[in-house]
């Protein structure tokens, strides 16, 4: 149910989207030099200039993590997995914390997306340090949001969820038998296991309650072979589907990761070096200029 204010007007649900650029931005091209609303617009923010009154640029929020580019994986948590021990919720990412509050109010409590089909990076982490594998396919995402399941498909999904629930029940029973007499370290690992099981049980429960509910309709169609497109052509499609997911209230929490450019240097003209190589520009202006093409593209698409 939607919330209403004290005067009876409808209050839109709170939503969150997070976009992580694996190689980041050249800081001086992104962050304004002045504070307040009347700052001089830096080069990378120029595409957003018409919306200046609608967004806020924060600086000084560096997580101060080591590990080079791998630190980007913890953009939404601020805590690397190997340093999460001792935190009450480990390195849970902010999108997954938000999805806890959404729960079963939407078909998907969160959507975790990635434009690159060949990497192992993710922005989203559970409260026991497990990464959430993202949806990398535009075609799969479209089907998740809009493809209507026939009766046979729904019954098959019901059986699949029931089978998974039975397996979880058996696993919990077996794990409980090992609980007594364990040392502290083994007990902590078993607690993490039980946490994972409980989270999976919750996802099963939330998913099954949506099996018999119709998915929304849309006039939007993906182009053929969408997953084979270059990054330049795929990126706006990801944002289109994200917008539709929010507009149809299919979810209220989305994270989107960008890593490599993919084939043909992402289809971006003017790029002659690999993205990773450019990120180690060493203040060479030619490399920074090429980086600016990539980074401006990301801001324009957003």
Question: Which of 188, 213, 238 is the C-terminal boundary of a domain?
Answer: 213
Say whether pLDDT at 3 is over 60. no
Q: Write the pLDDT tens digit of every residue in 160-188.
A: 666 666 666 666 666 666 666 666 666 66
Q: Per-residue b/e over 75-97, b at no fewer than 16 CB within 10 Å?
A: bbbbbbbeebeeeebbbbbbbbb
Domain membership of residue 193 (yes or no) is yes
Task: Check whether residue 12 and residue 97 sit in a common domain.
Answer: yes
Say whether pLDDT at 99 is over 80. yes
Task: Check whether residue 185 and residue 265 sit in a common domain.
Answer: no
Task: Check whether residue 132 and residue 259 sit in a common domain.
Answer: yes
Q: Write the pLDDT tens digit of every residue in 6-18.
A: 455 678 899 999 9
Q: What average pLDDT score do residues 241-260 get?
A: 96
Task: Check whether residue 134 and residue 246 sit in a common domain.
Answer: yes
Task: Check whether residue 34 and residue 111 sit in a common domain.
Answer: yes
Q: What average pLDDT score do residues 45-70 get?
A: 86
Full domain range(s) for residue 182: 157-213
Domain membership of residue 219 (yes or no) is no
**Range with top average pLDDT, 69-73, 118-122, 201-205, 264-268:** 264-268
Asked if residues 24 and 72 have their Cβ atoms less than 8 Å apart, the reply is yes
- Give me the pLDDT at residue 4, please: 47
Task: Check whether residue 92 and residue 133 sit in a common domain.
Answer: yes
Task: Check whether residue 269 and residue 286 sit in a common domain.
Answer: yes
Task: Check whether residue 13 and residue 91 sit in a common domain.
Answer: yes
Say whether pLDDT at 5 is over 60. no
- Give me the pLDDT at residue 171, please: 67
Q: What is the mean pLDDT of the chain?
A: 85
Domain membership of residue 163 (yes or no) is yes
Task: Check whether residue 202 and residue 238 sit in a common domain.
Answer: no
Domain membership of residue 10 (yes or no) is yes
Task: Check whether residue 176 and residue 130 sit in a common domain.
Answer: no
- Give me the pLDDT at residue 1, please: 43
Domain count, the chain: 2
- Give me the pLDDT at residue 61, please: 82
Say whether pLDDT at 81 is over 90. no
Q: What average pLDDT score do residues 126-137 get?
A: 88
Domain membership of residue 103 (yes or no) is yes
HEC states along 275-288?
Answer: HHHHHCCCCCHHHH
Task: Check whether residue 183 and residue 258 sit in a common domain.
Answer: no
DSSP string, 217-247: P-S--PPTTGGGS-HHHHHHHHHHHHHHHHH
DSSP state of 8: S
Domain membership of residue 218 (yes or no) is no
Task: Check whether residue 170 and residue 67 sit in a common domain.
Answer: no
Task: Using pLDDT thresholds of 50, 70 and 90, give the confidence band for residue 101.
Answer: very high
- Give me the pLDDT at residue 112, please: 96
């Amino acid at each position: 149910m939607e919330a209403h204010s004290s005067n009876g007007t409808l209050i839109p649900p709170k939503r969150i989207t997070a976009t992580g650029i694996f190689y980041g931005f050249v800081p001086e091209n992104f962050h304004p030099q002045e504070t307040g609303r009347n700052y001089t617009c830096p080069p990378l923010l120029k595409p957003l200039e018409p919306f200046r009154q609608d967004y806020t640029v924060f600086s000084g929020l560096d997580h101060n993590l080591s590990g080079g580019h791998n630190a980007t994986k913890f953009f939404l948590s601020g805590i690397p997995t190997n340093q999460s021990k001792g935190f009450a919720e480990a390195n849970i990412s902010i999108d997954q914390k938000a999805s806890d509050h959404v729960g079963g109010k939407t078909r998907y409590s969160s959507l975790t997306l990635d434009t690159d089909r060949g990497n192992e990076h993710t922005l989203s982490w559970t409260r026991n340090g497990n990464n959430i594998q993202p949806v990398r396919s535009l075609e799969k995402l479209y089907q998740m949001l809009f493809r209507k399941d026939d009766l046979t498909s729904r019954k098959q999904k019901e059986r699949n969820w029931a089978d998974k629930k039975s397996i979880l029940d058996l696993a919990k029973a077996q794990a409980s038998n090992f609980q007594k007499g364990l040392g502290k370290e083994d007990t902590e690992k078993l607690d993490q296991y039980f946490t994972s099981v409980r989270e999976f049980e919750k996802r099963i429960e939330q998913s099954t309650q949506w099996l018999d509910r119709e998915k929304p309709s849309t006039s939007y169609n993906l182009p053929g072979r969408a997953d084979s497109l270059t990054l330049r052509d795929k990126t706006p499609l990801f944002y289109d589907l994200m917008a539709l997911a929010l507009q149809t209230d299919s979810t209220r929490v989305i994270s989107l990761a960008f890593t490599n450019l993919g084939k043909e240097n992402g289809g971006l003209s003017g790029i002659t070096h690999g993205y990773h190589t450019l990120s180690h520009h060493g203040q060479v202006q030619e490399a920074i200029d090429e980086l600016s093409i990539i980074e401006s593209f990301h801001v324009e698409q957003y």
